[in-house]
Structure formats: structure tokens, C-alpha cells
């Protein structure tokens, strides 16, 4: 089924959130995977709690705060690595299939966009680093609203800007909670389950589950 717009979450869907730590795995040490997982988990937790409190801080601030917590939570990692890890986060690798998939969808005449918690500067850097700036038409950041997913107003950024009904949008995310929010809003949703995680939010299921973007 073709849609008027194909909209993608950024982190974990197009860009590998664990690439920054993996790039410095030797310096981080044997717990580098746990380190990366805690960093990501706290980054997301901070976005949800701040959205609920109405105390917005942009995603880069949350990324820094989450990293500082992670240094304390996972012992034995040299704090001098902080700046190197933050620098690496500005240039995350995209997943191998991403460029070809986006180009194929764009060739159908559909809008190709990102809808992300990331700050505009973070997203611009990631898109440019992955050479996706010629493929992606628009980048929608929650920063315009000063809140985070899964607030319905975030998903409405797409429908308002493109003047589309929600069911004309195919939304792809690797985050199951994001898929639940987008499904509730009315998007056709595709869960990119890269980590083979068990399903949840059973009343807000995706239209499709894929292991990567390859089959989109």
C-alpha cells in the first residue's frame, strides 16, 4: 500500500543510538554495551518525565544529563571520555539499508520526513553525516512544541504541515512506545523491531512488524 508520506523516527530507527559508545568501546571497557543501554534508557526516561512535568529541556541537554548519570551508574569508565562520546553522538551511523529504502520510497512521489524528539541541531548533524539531506524532505522536531512523544500534538506536526489525514501517513519507529502513540493518533504504523523485543501495548498494535526497513 502506498502512502502520501513516509515518516520516520530518527534514533534507533534511522540512526544507530549505540554507535557512539561502540566507536569508543575499547576505551569504555568490557561494560560498554551496558553503558550504552543505560545512557539510552535514561535519555528516554528524562524525556517522558519532563513532558509530564511540563518542564521542557531540549534533547541535547537530556542526552548530556543521561550520560553524566551513566558514568555514575556504570563504574570504572574514565570521565575524560565524556566529550568524545558526546561528539560521537552528533555523527551517529545510519543503518545500512536506510539510504536505499528512503530513495525507493521517494521515487514513488511520497513525502519523506523525520519526526523526532531530537533537537533541530542534532537532527541536522545526523542527517548531513549520513548524506540523507538530499532524500529527506522535512525534519520535524518536538522542539517546536517544547514537549516530547507520545503527546498527540507531536504527531500532528506532520498532518498539519502536509495537510493530510493521519491514515495517509505511514509512520516507522523502532520504539514500541512511539508506535503506540502514533497508532493512537491514527497513523498507519510499522514497528521496526531491530532487537527482536516482545510486543506490548496490545490495544495499540502496529499495522506491520519488520526486523529492519528492508521490506518496507
d(CA 12, CA 14): 6
Residues 190 and 171 sit within 8 Å (Cβ to Cβ): yes
Is 156 among the residues known to form the active site? no
Distances (CA, A) of 88 to 20, 23, 42, 82, 185: 5, 8, 18, 10, 34
Helix then strand then coil, % of the chain, to nearest 5: 50, 15, 40
User: Which distant-in-sequence residues (6+ apart) come within 8 Å of 37 by Cβ?
Assistant: 18
Residues 21 and 35 sit within 8 Å (Cβ to Cβ): yes
**Cα first-last separation, the chain:** 10
Residues 26 and 132 sit within 8 Å (Cβ to Cβ): no
Active-site residue, selected from the candidate residues 9, 58, 143, 178: 9
Give the 3-state secondary structure of residue 66. helix
Q: Report the C-alpha dihedral over residues 174, 196, 64, 23, rounded to 10 degrees.
A: -110
By annotation, the residues acting in catalysis are 9
Amino acid at each position: 500500500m502506498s502512502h502520501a508520506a513516509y515518516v520516520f523516527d530518527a534514533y534507533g530507527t534511522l540512526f544507530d543510538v549505540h554507535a557512539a559508545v561502540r566507536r569508543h568501546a575499547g576505551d569504555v571497557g568490557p561494560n560498554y554495551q551496558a553503558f550504552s543501554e543505560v545512557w539510552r534508557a535514561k535519555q528516554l526516561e528524562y524525556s517522558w518525565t519532563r513532558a509530564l512535568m511540563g518542564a521542557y529541556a531540549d534533547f541535547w541537554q537530556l542526552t548530556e544529563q543521561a550520560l553524566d548519570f551513566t558514568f555514575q551508574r556504570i563504574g570504572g569508565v574514565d570521565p575524560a571520555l565524556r566529550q568524545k562520546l558526546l561528539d560521537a553522538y552528533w555523527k551517529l551511523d545510519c543503518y545500512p539499508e536506510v539510504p536505499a529504502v528512503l530513495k525507493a520510497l521517494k521515487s514513488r512521489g511520497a513525502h519523506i520526513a523525520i519526526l523526532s524528539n531530537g533537537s533541530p541541531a542534532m537532527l541536522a548533524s545526523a542527517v548531513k553525516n549520513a548524506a540523507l539531506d538530499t532524500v529527506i524532505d522535512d525534519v520535524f522536531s518536538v522542539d517546536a512544541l517544547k514537549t516530547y512523544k507520545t503527546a498527540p500534538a507531536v504527531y500532528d506536526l506532520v498532518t498539519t504541515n502536509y495537510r493530510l489525514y493521519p491514515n495517509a501517513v505511514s509512520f516507522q519507529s523502532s520504539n514500541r512506545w512511539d508506535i503506540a502513540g502514533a497508532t493512537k493518533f491514527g497513523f498507519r504504523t510499522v514497528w521496526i523491531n531491530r532487537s527482536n523485543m516482545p510486543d506490548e501495548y496490545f490495544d495499540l498494535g502496529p499495522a506491520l512488524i519488520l526486523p529492519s526497513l528492508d521490506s518496507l
